[in-house]
A and B are shown apart, each in its own frame.
Chain A
Amino acid sequence: MAESTSEIAGSLVPTQKTQARILLEAGYLWMDMGQFDKAKDVFSGAAALMPKSEVPQIALGTLEFAQGRHEKALQAYRAAQRLAPKSGLPRAHAGEALLFLGKVPEAVKELQAAMQIEPDGDGAKLAKALIEAKDAGALPPKGAKKK
């Protein structure tokens, strides 16, 4: 049986992109179904499998965010930011978590940074949408604690 090379940089074991996609997709499906524990198991496994990738960390942050734990979500997004400092997506997600924490000035700073890092990237699109929602009065939510 031939040894296949890994398509994921820094993976613990040789992993194909398709396998990684299926794994992450399964985690998001569990999360959308409200099975947060199973989703966390899958995302934690993906993070262990791909320790150099920011994608599982963002997924873990999204999972915490979906459960209303914005502080833990922010921690996961910061971890993703450390793994990919030139990516705007972790900063956009961090800005989103900060908005829900009621820290509007810091959130705006993160969102603007996300738009500057990758003006045409997904992070910039998300940051722009979040700023528009903030300007429309939809964010931060009324229950957000101002700290």
Chain B
Amino acid sequence: MFDDKFPKEFEDLRKNFALSLQNKLFDIVNLEKKLIENNFEINTIQELYQATHKISGSCGMFNFSKISEAAYKLEEFLKSVVKAGTGLIPEDQSRINDLLSGLKKELEHIKSYSKETE
């Protein structure tokens, strides 16, 4: 089904995508700051949910499975928080912080991948 050019074309596209992940890390860091500044307000949690949802989906497609999994864990937790609609308890905030750290750590790794492939 696939011709010989496909693996090379896919790898080129994957490299470009990896470069774009650095911007996504920047976005996540900014959202984290915003979340702390406004004391885990629900609209910012929604924003963070949308951002992590995008990361988990696109990283899955480009086979960056560790980032996709880390984003997925955070996404699922944020989704449950939004659905519950009961406000956050300190344990929830701490869980969000832990999951955010996990995601940032995985996104940090991508910098070395991008450098390796340059």
Partners in one complex: no
Give residues in B with beta carbon < 8 Å to A.
none
